[in-house]
Structure 1
Amino acid sequence: MHSLALFTRLVAASLRGQARYPGSAIMLTLGQFLATGIELVAVWALFDRFGSVQGWTLGEVALFYGLVNMMFAVADALGRGFDVLGTDFLRTGSFDRLLLRPRPLALQLMAHDVRLSRLGRLLQGAAVLAYATVQGGIAWTPATVALALFAMAGGVALFLGILVLQGTLSFWTVESLEIANVLTYGGVQAAQYPLALYAQWFRRALTFAVPLACVAYYPGLAILGHADPLGAPAWVGWVSPLAGFAFLAAAFGAWRVGVRHYASTGS
């Protein structure tokens, strides 16, 4: 069976398994929607108190919030296998079973447990994006729609790359390290606001180390039609999402090193 067809069947099987308990699936999805809504309330409270922050309005910041949360929701659904690699596969020896199958390891892990509940964060991000369209005065054109989809794809690749690195660390630590949560959930928090609000060292980290700005901030500026307060050329936003794919490629390079390091459980 072709790898893509196998991936589709594995994802469908995972979703069917969760759909057997519709009440649980609905409650988990609703819980995800409401839990992430607390972050939205915090953003609203900030702008309700001050009106604007360094010239940025709530409608404009809502664009960044909506985009980055939609990116993370998709990546989090696809990257669950890497998140639990240490506890569910390496410690139990189940990873050996994956190695014996004539299909890519990454594909098997991405289809391991596609969480339906992540739809809650995705829907919330889409709702906030609709709000940003109205309040931020965004005029969607074929070009800006294409850019938003390109940024989404780059952002999914970036967050998935972070989860791949988390799984890679498990080959040496077995237990997942909390530093990965700093990069995933902390990255979502940081990317919800314009890059210009942060200190210079943090801006550099978000641009060159973990390029969250490249998949959210710069494309967001291009969609809004705003000039960058930091002086970046306007064309940067149209190409910067490529950094997300480059990050994912580098993460899989590290992943291959980790797989070669693996020596089974010994039990």
Structure 2
Amino acid sequence: MYALLAWTWLRAAARYPVSLALLTAAVAVVGALDLVAIMLLFARAPVIAGFGAAEVLFLYGTSVLSFATADLLLGSSSRLGQHIRQGSLDAMLVRPVSPLIQVATEDFSPRRTGKLIPGAVVLAAVLPRLDAPWDAGRIAMVPLMVLCGTAIFAGLWVLTASLHFVLIDAHAATKSVTDGGGLLTQYPMSVFGRDFVRGVTFAVPLAFVNWQPALYVLDRPDPAGLPSWLRFASPAAAVLVCAAAALAWRSGLRHYRSTGS
């Protein structure tokens, strides 16, 4: 059903191919501005918090791919608060399709794939330049960390969207977790304080998007002194975040009492 609804929006967008191409290119260019910021930093310093340009770009590529994929699949769930305030969620509840699928596929547009372009290009260019002891485990870890990162961001999107069931307007707060998390994971966690790193490891598990598995791939010690087994905990973190998101969403739906409109 998700694929059917997404295909309906895609067919509508494809009726205007020039506009679609220009919008996709514009999204890609805007997404690359974060890359420009990173390159400007390296124009002034050879390393950032002990990490070289290739290593930071590796973090950037994996973060952008994970975030952009999750945004493509479930980014529209952030519109839930708008539907609740307008009363349009009531109409979704009487349709024979999950409200989450309806919200997630709303205005589904291929222009969002433009966000994938900078990350994919950077990752393909930087992988051969990494000074890492490549073996079967490290090679397999790269696609695994992107997959787990996507699941973590997707779970956080649904989890934060569920706050709209109990808060009047939580849009800014949810963006600070989702978009803010996407920006945070583009940099080495060693640029932040140790207490902050522990917070994004054990409270909001953004460190498992790419930081912890990247330490394994790059064969680097954890600057925060956290246990080495955390480098392999991204799948478990993804499962826990998605499970928490499912529980929060179902609880929100059960306690939803309509706007009365």
- 1:60 matched to which residue of 2? 55
- 1:214 matched to which residue of 2? 208
- 1:71 matched to which residue of 2? 66
- 2: CA distance, partners of 1:114 / 1:143: 36
Match of 1:51 among 19, 24, 46: 46
Whether 1:7 aligns to 2:2 is: yes
Deviates more, 1:233-242 or 1:113-122: 233-242
- 2: CA distance, partners of 1:69 / 1:201: 25
What is the Cα deviation at residue 212 of structure 1? Answer: 0.9
- 1:30 matched to which residue of 2? 25
Secondary structure of the corresponding residue to residue 174 of structure 2? helix
Secondary structure of the corresponding residue to residue 79 of structure 1? helix
- 1:246 matched to which residue of 2? 240
Q: Is the 8 A contact 2:194 2:224 kept in 1?
A: no
Amino acid at match of 1:101: R
% same residue: 37
Match of 1:112 among 92, 106, 117: 106
Match of 1:259 among 222, 237, 253: 253
What is the Cα deviation at residue 166 of structure 1? Answer: 3.0
- 2: CA distance, partners of 1:138 / 1:108: 43
C-alpha RMSD over aligned residues: 2.0
What is the Cα deviation at residue 233 of structure 1? Answer: 4.5
Match of 1:42 among 37, 52, 55: 37
Deviates more, 1:136-145 or 1:189-198: 136-145
Q: Is the 8 A contact 2:49 2:188 kept in 1?
A: no
- 1: CA distance, partners of 2:47 / 2:238: 30
- 1:3 matched to which residue of 2? none
- 1: CA distance, partners of 2:223 / 2:86: 51
How high is the TM-score relative to the length of structure 2?
0.91
What is the Cα deviation at residue 105 of structure 1? Answer: 3.0
How high is the TM-score relative to the length of structure 1?
0.89
Deviates more, 1:170-179 or 1:113-122: 170-179
- 1:156 matched to which residue of 2? 150
What are the Cα deviations for residues 69-113 of structure 1, in whole angstroms up to 9, with x where unaligned? 1111011111233111122x3233332232223343333333333
Match of 1:172 among 162, 166, 176: 166
- 2: CA distance, partners of 1:106 / 1:56: 40
Which runs of 5 or more residues in structure 1 are unaligned? 1-5
Q: Is the 8 A contact 2:212 2:230 kept in 1?
A: yes
Q: Is the 8 A contact 2:161 2:174 kept in 1?
A: no
Deviates more, 1:125-134 or 1:59-68: 125-134
Secondary structure of the corresponding residue to residue 158 of structure 1? helix
What is the Cα deviation at residue 217 of structure 1? Answer: 0.3
Amino acid at match of 1:75: A
Q: Is the 8 A contact 1:133 1:139 kept in 2?
A: no
- 1:196 matched to which residue of 2? 190
Aligned length: 261
Amino acid at match of 2:178: T
What is the Cα deviation at residue 172 of structure 1? Answer: 2.9
- 2: CA distance, partners of 1:54 / 1:137: 17
